[in-house]
Amino acid sequence: MADDRHVQVTYREIAERFGIGIEGARIKAKRRAAKGVWRIIPGNHPQDIVRVEIPKDEFEGASAPQRGATHIAPDSPPSAPPQQEPQRREANDLELWVEVIAQLTAQSQAMTDRLIEAERAKAEAEKESALNRAALENAEAKIKAMAQGHFTELKAIRERLIADSERAKAELAEWKARPWWKRLAG
C-alpha cells in the first residue's frame, strides 16, 4: 500500500516526467525495481494498467525531459490508482467458494456415476463372456464326442469292408480254382 512518501504512477506518466518513451519507462521501472528502489504493481488482469510505486521526492524531483524534447512534463499530480470494480470478488468470498465446491461436487458425482455404470457394464460383459466360453467348451466337447463316435463307427465299417473284401477275394479265388464245367453248373 502506498504511503505519503511514495506515489503510484503508470508507465506513461513516468515517460512524460522523465522525457523518455513508454518502452523506456518500462525498462527503467524494471531496472529500478530490480535494485529495490521502485516497486512494480501488476493489475489483476493482463489488460489492467501496471502501476509503479516510486518515492515521491524522486518523482517530483525529476528534471524536465533530458533529450531536448519539446514536450514539457506537466506539473499535475500522478493519476489515482484504479478503483476496485464491484463485480470482482475477493479471494476470501465465502459464497464464491461454496459455489465452486458445489460445482466440483456435482462434477465428481457425475464422474462417479459414469464410473459405476462402466463397472456395471464391464461386469455384465465379463459374465456374458464366461457364459459364452462355457457354451463353447460344451459344444467342443459334444463335437469331439460325436467325432469320436463317428470315427469308431467308420473304423468298424472299414474293418467290415476289408473283411468282406477278403472273403470275396477268397471266394473268387476258390471259384477260379474249380474246373470250368463246375463253374458253369454252379
Delimit the domains of the chain by residue range.
6-60
Q: What is the pLDDT along the chain (186 residues), one digit of tens a residue?
A: 557 788 999 999 999 988 899 999 999 999 999 998 999 998 888 888 889 999 988 888 765 555 544 455 556 666 666 665 555 556 567 787 888 899 999 999 999 999 999 999 999 999 999 999 999 999 999 999 988 888 889 999 999 999 999 999 998 888 888 888 877 776
Nearest-5° angle of CA 36, CA 37, CA 42?
75
CATH number of 6-60: 1.10.10
User: pTM for this one?
Assistant: 0.36
Residue 60's closest CA among 20, 1, 6? 6
